[in-house]
Amino acid sequence: MYIYFQDNPLGKSVGDCSIRAISNILEMSWEQTYIELCLQGFIMADMPSSNSVIDAYLRSKGFRKSIIPNTCPECYTIADFADDHPNGVYLLATGEHVVSVVNGAYYDSWDSGDEVPVYYYWR
């Protein structure tokens, strides 16, 4: 199930999907999430949106990363993942997008449910 979520203070929906998704799963403001990711990026001398920075940040918050099995990479969507995970808090990554899933609903500023492939998730 899709739920509209847009906490960017200027309503932007391009380039900040990881910040929006992380702020949702950690129940923090967009601004606080951005600052913390920038600090993590500064420590690592990398951009706050890079996979390595996001990985280190989520790991520090107690999240664990899992890979999606490669059984049907072009058919397993964000909506499918949400349907298959009715309980829990997740951050999903596709090749182009990051989205949060909480208790079977995916939260985004647009209906990204048909996006594929889902490569991995943090729980």
Residue 9's pLDDT is: 95
pTM attached to this predicted model:
0.94
Q: What is the pLDDT of residue 13?
A: 82
Tokens 């079977």 correspond to what residue?
104
Each of the 123 residues of the chain gets a pLDDT tens digit; together they read 999 999 999 998 888 999 999 999 999 999 999 999 999 999 999 999 999 999 999 999 999 999 998 888 788 999 999 999 999 999 999 988 999 999 999 999 999 999 999 999 999
Q: What is the pLDDT of residue 15?
A: 87
CA dihedral over 83, 114, 93, 13, signed as positive or negative: negative
Count other C-beta atoms under 10 Å from residue 84's C-beta.
10
Q: Position 92: which residue type?
A: L
Q: How far is CA 25 from the centre of its chain?
A: 8
Model pLDDT, residue 118: 92
The pLDDT of residue 75:
87
How far apart CA 53 and CA 58 sit, in angstroms, is 9
- Which residues are within 8 A (CB) of 75 and not within 5 positions of it... i.e. 6 or more apart? 116
32: Cα within 13 Å, side-chain hemisphere: 7
